[in-house]
Amino acid sequence: MSDQIDSTTAQPARRYNYWLGGKDNFAVDRASGDEILKTFPTARLAALENRRFLQRATRYLAAEAGIRQFLDIGTGLPTADNTHEVAQGIAPESRVVYVDNDPMVMVHARALLTSTPEGRTTYIEADLRSPEQILTDPDLRATLDLGEPVALMLVAVLHFVQGYGAGRPIVATLMDSLPSGSFLVVTNATKDPLPAKMAADYDAALAAGVTNIWPRDRAEFTDLFTGLELVEPGVTPISEWRAESEPEPRPNPAHIAMYGAVARKP
């Protein structure tokens, strides 16, 4: 594991932390976050709704689908109601492996995230772009039984893999290693609900390197779930996925601009 924390380059986890109102970020992360807010002023709201989606999806998996193992890649900095807290609150024996490529995330995770006595929580510093490295990590193998169903959580992380179709091989590699009965959870930015001017501004920001968040349209996002059985209501704006218990009115999808879905491996 690298112990070097780079405070001179904006990092997604720290920028997300800034948008959520956290203090675990540097000036460069705040500047990057503010620059993105110029193009997408509701980015903070999107971050909050993404967090709520993660919690609802985890509750569904633990309470309704009976999942007891979670592989959460792109963990981000710890906040309230993290994956293991939600899962272990329902099933204390749940096991969770967190993966992130930011050393600062690992420092905070090890300090702040603890498991129930019945369950287990492990942290791996690795990159989503190297799925084989994640799958063969000895800490993962010691924590999760890959012969039993696992929920693969790719929440607000796959959109850092740029290029049309570039996410599909990574998802396929990971899901091919998990048994029948496993689940895939994904959220990803999209331009689909954006007005034309905002979509054009997004393209310009992406081309200029202001943002590194690759937006996937509905077709590309849905393709990530090829061979899997989508859980109702299927591919939806994240703010609308099983959100009956959330405050009304629900946000305008154009203010969130993220798709989310959960699917089961048959």
In this structure, are strands 236-237 and 229-230 parallel, antiparallel, or unpaired? unpaired
Indicate if the pLDDT at residue 260 is higher than 80. yes
Q: Dump the DSSP string for 109-171.
A: HHHH----SSSEEEEEE--TT-HHHHHT-HHHHHH--TTS--EEEEES-GGGS-STTTHHHHH
Indicate if the pLDDT at residue 2 is higher than 50. no
Q: What is the pLDDT of residue 227?
A: 97
Name the token pair of 94: 């749940």
Domain 12-264: CATH class, spelled out:
alpha beta
Collapsed DSSP state (helix, strand, coil) of residue 179? coil
Phi, psi (deg, nearest 5) at residue 89: -65, -25
pTM reported for the whole predicted model: 0.89
CA distances from 38 to 48, 61, 132, 201 (A): 18, 36, 37, 10
Collapsed DSSP state (helix, strand, coil) of residue 98? strand
Q: What is the pLDDT of residue 112?
A: 59
Maximum mean pLDDT: which of 27-41, 43-57, 158-172:
158-172
Q: State mean pLDDT over 136-144.
A: 97
Q: State mean pLDDT over 33-56.
A: 87
